[in-house]
Structure 1
Amino acid sequence: MEAWFSSGRIVDALLALVLLEAVLFLRAGRGRLLLPNLAAGACLLLALRAALTGAPVALLGLWLALAGVAHGVDVAGRWRAGRR
């Protein structure tokens, strides 16, 4: 079990579930609004993977920054949808 965490494989498994969720929502016609949220979560998972595997700090920062951008897009989309 420890190898799953130290190698980042646990994150790979979680990313596969996020991808499956995205495909299911897209097929149901509800995915477009959820894609920024799923992207933010995927970026956070990739940041976790970078931290677990000892990747360069710049890569960790990149994933966190991209998660922030995706989160901002998600919040803006929800705000616009709520104003209609």
Structure 2
Amino acid sequence: MIDFLSGVHVVDLILIVVAVETVAITLYWRKTGRGITPARLLPNLLAGALLLVALRLALSGHPWPWYTACLALAGIANVVDLRQRWR
């Protein structure tokens, strides 16, 4: 059981939960028209998912440019999210 719950597998599980959450929120919004629109939610979820991918790459021993690129893209997604929310 401990082998199965290595850091990489935990990150994979969290990424699956994020994907399911995205689909559920999108379906709810399409059905009811209530809640946050998927377009406004996507940059936030993308930033989080990219941080998780960067963590997964680092834990898997991939070369640093790969996870650094994910961190940079997560930063860009975060800026897009903040720009949408800024008033």
Question: Shorter-chain TM-score: what band?
Answer: 0.7 to 0.9
Code of the residue aligned with 1:43 in structure 2: it is L
Is 1:4 the counterpart of 2:17? The answer is no
Say which of 36, 41, 59 aligns to 2:66: 59
What amino acid does structure 2 have at the position aligned with 1:16?
Answer: I
Identity of aligned residues (%): 43
The CA RMSD over aligned residues, in Å, is: 1.4
1:47 to 44, 49, 54: 54
Count of equivalent residues: 79
Aligned residue for 1:54, secondary structure, equals coil
Structure having the larger proportion of residues in helix? 1
Q: Where does the alignment leave 5 or more consecutive residues of structure 1 unmatched?
A: none
- Unpaired runs of 5+ residues, structure 2, are 30-35
State the Cα distance separating 1:4 from its structure 2 match: 3.1
Per the TM alignment, residue 32 of structure 1 is displaced from its structure 2 partner at its CA by 2.1
Equivalent position of 2:78 in the other structure: 71
Question: What TM-score, normalized to structure 1?
Answer: 0.85
Divergent runs of 4+, >3 A: none
